[in-house]
Amino acid sequence: MLRRQDWHDRLLHGSDYPLPGVLPLVRLPQLVRAGVLDESHVAPLGALRDHHPLMFDLALKRLARWQGQALGASVYGTARHFGPTPA
């Protein structure tokens, strides 16, 4: 999905609730070993997860990379889906 940049305008971010609240499901060191997350993000993400699991979910998705590819900003710009419909 990260490589398919042409799909990003079709995607809409949503939380994976209740999964962000089930802390053992996401193991940050494993994501580092898999090459999806930079080691420098582990401590701040861990603190955020303890404080606000849904914000952690969003931050993790924004920071995740695979071979230099990430989800585009349009995935997180959800206002366009909730605004008035053009005539």
pLDDT tens track for 15-45: 666 766 676 778 999 999 999 999 999 999 9
Instruction: Output the pLDDT for position 61.
Output: 87
Q: What is the pTM of this model?
A: 0.69
Closest CA to 5 of 64, 67, 60, 72: 72
Q: What is the pLDDT of residues 50-86, one digit of tens each?
A: 898 888 888 998 898 888 878 777 767 766 667 776 6
Distance in angstroms (rounded) separating the CA atoms of residues 71 and 75? 7
